[in-house]
Chain A
């Protein structure tokens, strides 16, 4: 991604633009009327969308306070992705069974799909964007690249957030101990061996 020319759209901006265009075309086609541009395409403002019953909260994400208005039903995951627009955290099963949504709350890994954003006021939330970027990779991110610890990449941010948290948890030295503590992160591509290699590489250097 960092090899892209500065002016080229990011993959996400590209997807957002094309999805909006496709939706507009579908609406125009179905009702035969003119397409009216609305603010709906850009609902991820800093204030969040205007939703009935929304409550004001301040979340501290990656060291930055964010004043938001959220429906109490908004999960921490949906808030991070849809309200704050940090889309590195992924939604897999949305039921705490796959680990794709793993983030850190006060330094500990949790499934962000299984708690409500309103429960996390004042807590320190860290997402994949907060631990390193393309030009400043966290050692765990670099190890996943070096060890080829992914295939499609969808589970990767959750894997890395789990792996970074694991470094501070009680964990035996062998691969079996790492596998046990990483069992809450499912990889449908089956990159497990390389994921374990990446984690062990970081642990050995630590």
Chain B
């Protein structure tokens, strides 16, 4: 591991001022905030991340879960995943978020990992994690051996000629379906970013994964007021029953009147280069009868643009069945 200076800022402003001196907030950043460490320390051991300075934000007052004035929820950046998943309000009003978090990682990792850290969780693509291999995300322009190599776990949605790495987060899939907003303080002040605009598609710049700039500190995430009477399901399919990343997952928030779907928010995990909100599936659901035919149509719509790689074509049908089953489960809950 490369050497680094370690600091604990007195307040958010000091943390931001230090981080703002970095050249980038993306892959290869020379300054990194650290909270749980579950992604960053791992990648530093692999020399995939080599920051010269670490800013420990654990002591900043960003660890609260509070109600907002408009009936929603404010989740601090350093709220641990386990605290968020086990929060009574989250379990009651945003259960898809609780289900998603508890479907990810292990109890130990959930005790460490934070809300903001999970938003910035890095891909598990083995080429990204191995500095002996080429990787456009880690070393722009070096190539993507995954496209002709081991890509069984990688993405079928949102890929490019340069990168097919999967976003591994479960929490983010639920937040996409809940229409969360990410709040950032930076060198130029504060701003709010809609969840769907926070993560970037790889395109020709896979090293850029989010819209964050040097100095940007995620302070909290807000969730809008819960949809009255909504039915929420997170379904995750994987190679093991527990402690494994998704091959495909689906987060579903449904509202119904009788047997008709009146509102739907759908997001997919394990198949996209970013947490994958599917407006196409939502359009196919709203106003339709909540039956198997509708759910299958929605699943077909969600995966219409999917592009299989040499080893992961099975994910397309798997993701369709995953979404259809999640919708059926929600509708009959």
A→B interface (CB under 8 Å):
53, 55, 71-73, 75, 94-96, 99, 102, 108-111, 113-116, 118-119, 162, 165-166, 169-170, 179-185
Contacts and interface: CB of A to CB of B under 8 A. Distances in A.
Interface stretch (B2-10, B151-159, B177-185, B292-300): B2-10
Interface of A is mostly: mixed
Contact of B6 (A110, A118, A185): A118
Interface in B36-95: 36-38, 41-42, 45, 54, 56, 58, 82, 86
Closest 8 CB pairs of A and B: A184-B106, A183-B242, A183-B243, A72-B6, A115-B37, A108-B111, A114-B41, A111-B108
B105 interface: yes
B242 A96 contact: no
Interface in B130-154: none
Contact of A115 (B1, B41, B105): B41
Given A72-B6, A119-B58, A170-B86, A96 B38 contact: yes
Nearest to A95: B42
Interface string B239-253: 001110000000000
B289 interface: no
Contacts of A116: 6, 34, 37, 41, 54
10 contacts: A108-B82, A109-B107, A111-B108, A114-B41, A116-B6, A116-B34, A116-B41, A165-B107, A169-B82, A183-B107
A110 B86 CA distance: 17
Interface residues of B, number: 27
A102 B56 CA distance: 21
Nearest to A121: B8
Given A72-B4, A72-B5, A119 B37 contact: yes
B126 interface: no
A9 B41 CA distance: 37
Interface centre among B5, B56, B86, B106 (most CB of A within 10 A): B106
B318 interface: no
B4 A109 contact: no
B212 interface: no
B81 to A, nearest CB: 12
Nearest to B37: A115
Given A119-B56, A119-B58, A183 B38 contact: no
Contacts of B58: 119
Nearest to A113: B41
A72 B6 CA distance: 7
B3 A96 contact: no
Given A114-B37, A170-B86, A162 B42 contact: no
Contacts of B41: 75, 113-116
Contact of A111 (B5, B45, B112): B112
